[in-house]
C-alpha cells in the first residue's frame, strides 16, 4: 500500500484516506477498539518503523557535519516522516487525553505513553474489581458463618428440648397399627 506520507513532509492523497480508516478517536473507554484500528493502519502502511523500536539514522555523519550543522539526509527524511506519523496519531486522540502526551516529540514516544497510561488504567480497574469481588466473597463468608451459627444454635435448642422432655405416657402415645388391628379382631369374633 502506498505510504500516505512522502519524505518531503507534504500530505499526499493517501493521507486523507488514512484518517478515514479510523472510525473512533481514543478516549478513556475505547482503548482496545482504537488500538485495533490504529495498529491495523500502522501495519497496512508499513509505519511500524516509526512506532515500534524505531531505528533512527544518525543526525550527523561526522563531527565536521555536526560543526557545520549539516544534517544527514536520511535522518532528515526519517524525522519528517515521523513528524507526520506523530501528527496523524495525535489526530486520533480526543483532547481530554492529549494532555498526557503533549510533552512527547516522536510517534514512538506518544505510542508508548498511551500504552503506559492505559495499562495503568486497566490494571487499576482490574484491582478494583478484584477488591470488590473479595469484599463480596468475605461478606458472603461472614453471612454463611452467621447462618451456620444460627442453625447450630437452633439445632442445639431443639436437641436440648428433645433430651429434656419427659417420656410420653401410654395415654399420650398414638395407638400402633398393630394394636388397632388386634382390637378390631377381638370385636369381630364376638
pLDDT value of residue 169: 66
**pLDDT band at residue 41 under the 50/70/90 scheme:** very high
Q: Which residue has the higher pLDDT, 31 or 21?
A: 31
Per-residue confidence (pLDDT) for residue 128, from 0 to 100: 72
Domain boundaries, the chain: 11-129
At 26 the three-state DSSP class reads: strand
Of the chain, the end-to-end C-alpha distance in Å amounts to: 115
Residue 82, classified by CB atoms within 10 Å of its CB into exposed (0-12), middle (13-18) or buried (19+), is buried
> For residues 71 and 150, what is the distance between their CA atoms, to the nearest angstrom?
83
Q: Is the pTM of this model over 0.85?
A: no
Amino acid at each position: 500500500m502506498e505510504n500516505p506520507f512522502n519524505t518531503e513532509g507534504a500530505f499526499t492523497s493517501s493521507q486523507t484516506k488514512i484518517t478515514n480508516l479510523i472510525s473512533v478517536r481514543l478516549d478513556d473507554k475505547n482503548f482496545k477498539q482504537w488500538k485495533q484500528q490504529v495498529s491495523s493502519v500502522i501495519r497496512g502502511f508499513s509505519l511500524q518503523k516509526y512506532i515500534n523500536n524505531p531505528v533512527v539514522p544518525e543526525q550527523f555523519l561526522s563531527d565536521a557535519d555536526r560543526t557545520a550543522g549539516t544534517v544527514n539526509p536520511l535522518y532528515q527524511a526519517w524525522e519528517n516522516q515521523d513528524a507526520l506519523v506523530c501528527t496523524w496519531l495525535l489526530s486520533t486522540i480526543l483532547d481530554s487525553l492529549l494532555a498526557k502526551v503533549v510533552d512527547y516529540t516522536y510517534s514512538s514516544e506518544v505510542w508508548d505513553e498511551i500504552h503506559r497510561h492505559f495499562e495503568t488504567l486497566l490494571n487499576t480497574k482490574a484491582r478494583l474489581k478484584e477488591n470488590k469481588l473479595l469484599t463480596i466473597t468475605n461478606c458472603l463468608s461472614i453471612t454463611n458463618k452467621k447462618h451456620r451459627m444460627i442453625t447450630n444454635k437452633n439445632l442445639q435448642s431443639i436437641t436440648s428440648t428433645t433430651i429434656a422432655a419427659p417420656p410420653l405416657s401410654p395415654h399420650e402415645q398414638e395407638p400402633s397399627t398393630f394394636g388397632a388391628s388386634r382390637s378390631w379382631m377381638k370385636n369381630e369374633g364376638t
